[in-house]
Chains A and B, each alone.
Chain A
Amino acid sequence: MNSTIARLVGGRLAVGVLTLLIVSLVVFFLTSLLPGDAVQEQLGQEATAEAVAALRAQLGLDLPVHLRYFNWLGGLITGNPGISLVNGMPVDDMIASRLPNTLKLAAVTTLVSVPLALTIGILSAMYRGSIFDRYSNMLAVFAVSVPEFLIATIAVLIFAVKLGWLSALSRSVEVESFGELVRIYALPVLTLCCVLTAQMARMTRAAVVDQLSASYVEMAILKGARPIRVVLRHALPNAIGPIANAVALSLSYLLGGVVIVESIFNYPGVATLMVNGVVTRDMPLIQACVMLFSLGFLMLVLLADLCAILSNPRLRK
C-alpha cells in the first residue's frame, strides 16, 4: 500500500513541478505583455524620455526578455524571487509580511465554513426533497450568486455602522482577547463563508446523494441500519473523494482570490499585494505571488487526492 501511495505522490509531485515551470513561463511572458512598465507607472505624468531610460537601466529592465526570464527563474530556484521594482524591498520580505495574515484569515474561514458546509450538505442529502433541503438549496444558490462586495458592504452597514457591534475594518494588527478576535474577523469571515459554504454544501449534497442511490446503500437500509449510520458509515466514505476536491478548490480561492474582501475590510493580505503589483507593474512581485498561489493550489489538490486515495480501498491497494 505504501509503495502505491509513494508512487502516486511522487508522480503528482513531478507533474506539479512541471506545471509550476510552465506557469512560470506563462506568467513571465504574459506579464511582460502588460501595457506600460514599472518605470512609466512610477514616473507617471512626469515621465520624460531620459528619466525613463535611466531608471530602466538602473532596474535592469533594458535586458532582453529571455535573459531576464532565466535570471528570474534562477533566483526563484535558489529561493530569491528578486527585488521589488517599485520600492526596492526584497519580494520575499514583502510576501512574508502579508502571508501570515492571509493564512490566518483562511484558517479561521476554513474552521467555520467546512464543518458548516459538510453538515448542511449531508443533512440536505439525507432529507432530500424536504423543506430543509429546498430552503438550504435556495439559500445556497442565492449566496453564490450575490457578489461578495454586496454582502460585505451590507454587512458593514448593518453590523458596524448601524448597530456598532463589529469593526468596519479588519486591519488592527494587535489582537489581544478572544472578543477582539471575533470583533475583527467576524465580518470578513461571514462574507467569505457565504460564498464558500454554499459551494461546498452543494457539492457535498450532490456527492452524498449520488452514493445514496447506490445499491450497497439500499442493501444497508434493507439490513435495517439507521439513516445516520447509513450515511456516515456507508455513503460518506465513498463520497469523500469528490467532497475533498470541492473543498480544496474552494479553499484555494482563500489564498489569492479574496481581493474584494481584503480591500473592503482593508485587510493586509497577499491578494491586495498582488493587485498592487499589477497596478504598479512590479513584475517580480506579481510573478512571485502567482507562483505562490499556483504552489498553494497544487498542494491543496494533492492533499485532496491523498484523501480520496486513503478513503478508497481500491486505490489504497
Chain B
Amino acid sequence: MTDNKNKVDSQLITGEESLRVFEGLNRGMSRRDALRMLGLAGVAVAGAGSLFGSAGQVFAATSASTGKGKRGGRIKVATATSSTADTLDPAKGGNYTDYCRHNMFYNGLTVLDAQLAPRMALAESFGTADAISWTIKLRKDVVFHDGKPFTAADVVYSLIRHKLPETGSKALTVAQQFEEVKAAGPHEVQIRLTSPNADLPAILATTHFLIVRDGTTDFAIANGTGPFKCAEFQPGVRSIAARNDSYWKPGLPYLDEIEFFSIPDEAARISALLAGDVDLINPINPRSVSRIQDSANVELMETPTGGYTNLIMRDDLGPVQNPDFVLAMKHLLDRKQINRAAFRGYGKIANDQPIAPSNRYYFAGLPQREYDPEKAKFHLQKSGMAGRSLPIVASEAATGSLDIAQLLQLSGQQIGLKLDIKRVPADGYWSNHWMKHPLGFGNIGARPTADLLFSLFFKSDAGTNESGWKNEQFDQLLVAARGETDDAKRKQMYADMQVLVHEHCGIGIPQFNSSLDGHNTKLKGLTPHPLGGLMGYMFAENVWLDA
C-alpha cells in the first residue's frame, strides 16, 4: 500500500485545467469559484490516478489524516441508536447510525472535507455561471455493486425522488429547490434551481443525497457505488459491510469487513469496548471519559462539532415574547459553568450565534456575551417578569438540557426569577414538546452549510423555526446570501445574520457540543470532522487496523 495522503491536491493541476479556469475567469466567474474549481479539478485528477499511475493516489476526503493504511482486517463498531427504523434508503436516513451505514455503501456527487468545503466524489466537476443552472460532469469509471455502470440516469433518479412525497425523504424541503434535473449526456447532468444557491455542491454532499441506482425502490439490500458491499442488513440488529474490491478510489477501503450495530446502553457500550468486543464506539458521555482514560488499550477522540443544545424562548407563546426577557435569559446563561458542569469541559463556549467557529462563515467579531446577573436583572425588571414563576421544559432527548435548566434555575433565583423545571420523557420529545412550550430546549446537529442551518431553524416561514422568530431583514439577507457568488460580500451577509440572531432571536446557545469517540488503539486513521463523531460519519473507508 503506497497511498500518500500528505500531498496537496491543488498542486496537481494540468495545463488543460488551468486553461478552463482562466476561461472561467474571463466569463466573469468570481475568484472563489475559480479557486474552488482549481481545488476540485485537482481532486478529480488525483482520483483518476492519471498522474501517479497506480503507485500513488491523493484523496481529498481524508486530507486531514496522515500516515498510510494497512489493508485487511475486520472491525466491530457500535453506536447508540438503532431500531427497526434503520434503513438502507439514503433519503430516509434518520440518525447518525444510518448516515454511517449509507457512507459505507453509497457515494455522493461531492463530499465535505474537514473544513466543510465540498470536494468532488462521483462528480468530476460542477459548473455554473449564475448559481441557478448547474452542469455536473460525472466520473466514467464507476460501477454499482451489481456491476451496472454509473451514469447520469442514476443521478437524475436519486435527486428527483426526494421531491416525491411518497419517498418519505428527510430532504424534501431542501429538494424543492430543484426545479429540473435532467441528463445532458451519459455522464453529464444539468440542474436548474428555483432560485440561486451557490451552496449546491455542499448540499449534495449530505448523506440524504447519496446516489442510488436508477429505479431502485427496494432497499432491503444496498446497491451503491461505495467502498463496501452490503453483505447483511437486519434493521435494529446489525449490518455487515464487505470490501468492494472494485471500488473506484484505488487502494481503498483498507478493511475487509465492518460489523456495524448499536448498543443503546452507554455503560454496556463502554464495557464492550474495554472488553475488546468492539473496536470503535460513539458517543461517550463526558462523565464516562475516565473509564476510557484508565484503560491502556483504548483511546478517546474528541470531535468539536457545529451541533449545540439551545434554550428556546418562543416568540409566539405567552410571556416570553418580550425582547427584554429574551436578553435577560441570554445573560443568565453561565456558559463557562454549563461547559464545565454539564459537559465536563468538552465543547466550545458559544455566543448565541448558531454558526460554529469551524465554519468559514463564522463571524469572529461578535463580542462574547458573558454571564451577567446584573444585566439579566435589569432586563428582567424591564420586561415586568420579575418575581414570576415560569415552567421550563427539559428532557434527556436534548443532550445536557436538564443540567442547563438546573443551572439556569439557580442563577434565576438570584435575580428573582423562579424557573419551574418540567422534566419530560425523551420518547416522543421531538413531536410533542419541542417548540411547543414557551421555554424549552432544542438539540441541533451540525449542518454542512450556514445556509441550511439558517433556512431550517431561523427563517420566518421555516417549519422548524425553533423560536418562531420573525425578522424580515434576516430573511432578505438569507435569500441574498444564497445567490451571492462574491465570497467577501457573502461573508458579510452571514456576519450580519449572526448579529441579528445574537441580538434578537429567542435562542440561547451556551456552547457547541463535542462528540466523543472511543476506539481500540489498534484502529488508526480516525480524525475529527466538524459534521459529527465517527469522522463525520465517514470513518468506514478511512480507517485501518495496525496489528
Residues of A within 8 A of B (CB): 34-36, 40-51, 53-55, 58, 84, 86-87, 89, 94, 97, 149, 152-153, 156-157, 160-161, 164, 167-169, 171, 263-266, 268, 272-273, 276-280, 282, 285
A282 in contact with B84 (CB, 8 Å):
yes
| Residues in A neighbouring B276, C-beta threshold 8 A | 164
B85 in contact with A280 (CB, 8 Å):
yes
Of B65-73, B262-270, B399-407, the one touching chain A: B262-270
Whose C-beta in chain B lies nearest to the C-beta of A156? B271
Q: Out of A35, A168, A282, which one reaches B431, CB within 8 Å?
A: A35
Whose C-beta in chain B lies nearest to the C-beta of A285? B84
B275 in contact with A266 (CB, 8 Å):
no
CB distance from B83 to the nearest CB of A (A): 4
CB distance from B142 to the nearest CB of A (A): 28
| Residues in A neighbouring B49, C-beta threshold 8 A | none
Once bound together, how far apart are the Cα atoms of A33 and B262, in whole Å? Answer: 29
Once bound together, how far apart are the Cα atoms of A47 and B237, in whole Å? Answer: 26
B165 in contact with A168 (CB, 8 Å):
no
B261 beta carbon closer than 8 Å to chain A: yes
6 A-B residue contacts at CB 8 Å? A42-B168, A45-B464, A46-B172, A156-B268, A268-B236, A280-B85
Whose C-beta in chain B lies nearest to the C-beta of A51? B172
Whose C-beta in chain A lies nearest to the C-beta of B264? A263
Once bound together, how far apart are the Cα atoms of A152 and B271, in whole Å? Answer: 11
B430 in contact with A45 (CB, 8 Å):
yes
A279 in contact with B272 (CB, 8 Å):
no
Once bound together, how far apart are the Cα atoms of A279 and B235, in whole Å? Answer: 14
| Residues in A neighbouring B165, C-beta threshold 8 A | 50-51, 53-55, 58
Binary contact track B364-407/A, C-beta < 8 Å → 1, others 0: 00000000000000000000000000000000000000000000
A276 in contact with B166 (CB, 8 Å):
no
| Residues in A neighbouring B170, C-beta threshold 8 A | 43-44, 46
Q: Out of B84, B272, B430, B434, which one reaches A266, CB within 8 Å?
A: B272
Q: Out of A35, A264, A272, A276, which one reaches B432, CB within 8 Å?
A: A35
Q: Out of A86, A149, A153, which one reaches B84, CB within 8 Å?
A: A86
Q: Out of B173, B271, B272, B278, which one reaches A46, CB within 8 Å?
A: B173
Once bound together, how far apart are the Cα atoms of A50 and B275, in whole Å? Answer: 48
Once bound together, how far apart are the Cα atoms of A169 and B273, in whole Å? Answer: 10
Whose C-beta in chain B lies nearest to the C-beta of A98? B237
Q: Out of B83, B261, B271, which one reaches A160, CB within 8 Å?
A: B271
Binary contact track B246-277/A, C-beta < 8 Å → 1, others 0: 00000000000000011111011001101111
A87 in contact with B86 (CB, 8 Å):
yes
CB distance from B87 to the nearest CB of A (A): 6
Centre residue among A47, A265, A266 by max chain B CB count within 10 A: A266
| Residues in B neighbouring A153, C-beta threshold 8 A | 267-268, 271
B472 beta carbon closer than 8 Å to chain A: no
B268 in contact with A168 (CB, 8 Å):
yes
| Residues in B neighbouring A265, C-beta threshold 8 A | 268
The 10 A-B residue pairs with the shortest CB-CB distance, nearest first, are: A54-B165, A36-B431, A168-B275, A276-B83, A160-B275, A40-B431, A86-B85, A168-B272, A264-B268, A280-B85
| Residues in A neighbouring B263, C-beta threshold 8 A | 169, 263, 266
A42 in contact with B94 (CB, 8 Å):
yes
| Residues in A neighbouring B86, C-beta threshold 8 A | 87
B463 beta carbon closer than 8 Å to chain A: yes
B482 beta carbon closer than 8 Å to chain A: no
Which residues in window 149-194 of B have CB below 8 A to A? Answer: 165-166, 168, 170-173
Do A279 and B83 form a contact, CB below 8 Å, given A156-B268, A161-B274? yes
| Residues in A neighbouring B168, C-beta threshold 8 A | 42-43, 51, 55, 58
Which residues in window 412-434 of B have CB below 8 A to A? Answer: 427-428, 430-432, 434
B234 beta carbon closer than 8 Å to chain A: yes
| Residues in A neighbouring B92, C-beta threshold 8 A | 42
B238 beta carbon closer than 8 Å to chain A: yes
Centre residue among B236, B274, B428 by max chain A CB count within 10 A: B236
| Residues in B neighbouring A43, C-beta threshold 8 A | 168, 170
| Residues in A neighbouring B264, C-beta threshold 8 A | 263
Once bound together, how far apart are the Cα atoms of A219 and B458, in whole Å? Answer: 86
| Residues in B neighbouring A35, C-beta threshold 8 A | 428, 431-432
Centre residue among A53, A55, A161, A263 by max chain B CB count within 10 A: A161
Whose C-beta in chain B lies nearest to the C-beta of A86? B85
B94 in contact with A279 (CB, 8 Å):
no
Centre residue among B84, B165, B265, B428 by max chain A CB count within 10 A: B84
A273 in contact with B84 (CB, 8 Å):
yes
| Residues in A neighbouring B272, C-beta threshold 8 A | 160, 168-169, 266
A58 in contact with B274 (CB, 8 Å):
no
Whose C-beta in chain B lies nearest to the C-beta of A265? B268
B268 in contact with A161 (CB, 8 Å):
no
Q: Out of A34, A94, A263, which one reaches B268, CB within 8 Å?
A: A263
| Residues in B neighbouring A156, C-beta threshold 8 A | 268, 271, 275
Whose C-beta in chain A lies nearest to the C-beta of B236? A276
| Residues in B neighbouring A97, C-beta threshold 8 A | 234, 237
| Residues in A neighbouring B275, C-beta threshold 8 A | 156, 160-161, 164, 167-168
Centre residue among A156, A169, A278, A285 by max chain B CB count within 10 A: A169
Once bound together, how far apart are the Cα atoms of A97 and B220, in whole Å? Answer: 15
B173 in contact with A48 (CB, 8 Å):
yes
Once bound together, how far apart are the Cα atoms of A274 and B265, in whole Å? Answer: 17
A36 in contact with B173 (CB, 8 Å):
no
Given A51-B168, A168-B275, 14 extra CB contacts under 8 A: A46-B172, A47-B431, A48-B173, A53-B165, A58-B166, A149-B265, A153-B267, A160-B271, A161-B271, A167-B275, A168-B272, A263-B265, A273-B236, A280-B85
Whose C-beta in chain A lies nearest to the C-beta of B88? A87
CB distance from B128 to the nearest CB of A (A): 26
Centre residue among A41, A46, A58, A94 by max chain B CB count within 10 A: A46
CB distance from B303 to the nearest CB of A (A): 21
Do A168 and B271 form a contact, CB below 8 Å, given A54-B166, A266-B261, A266-B263? yes
Which residues in window 434-470 of B have CB below 8 A to A? Answer: 434, 463-464
Once bound together, how far apart are the Cα atoms of A294 and B44, in whole Å? Answer: 60
Q: Out of B166, B220, B432, which one reaches A36, CB within 8 Å?
A: B432
B87 in contact with A87 (CB, 8 Å):
yes
B268 in contact with A36 (CB, 8 Å):
no
Q: Out of B172, B235, B427, B430, which one reaches A87, CB within 8 Å?
A: B235
Once bound together, how far apart are the Cα atoms of A160 and B87, in whole Å? Answer: 32
Once bound together, how far apart are the Cα atoms of A99 and B426, in whole Å? Answer: 28
Once bound together, how far apart are the Cα atoms of A97 and B237, in whole Å? Answer: 10
Once bound together, how far apart are the Cα atoms of A41 and B429, in whole Å? Answer: 10
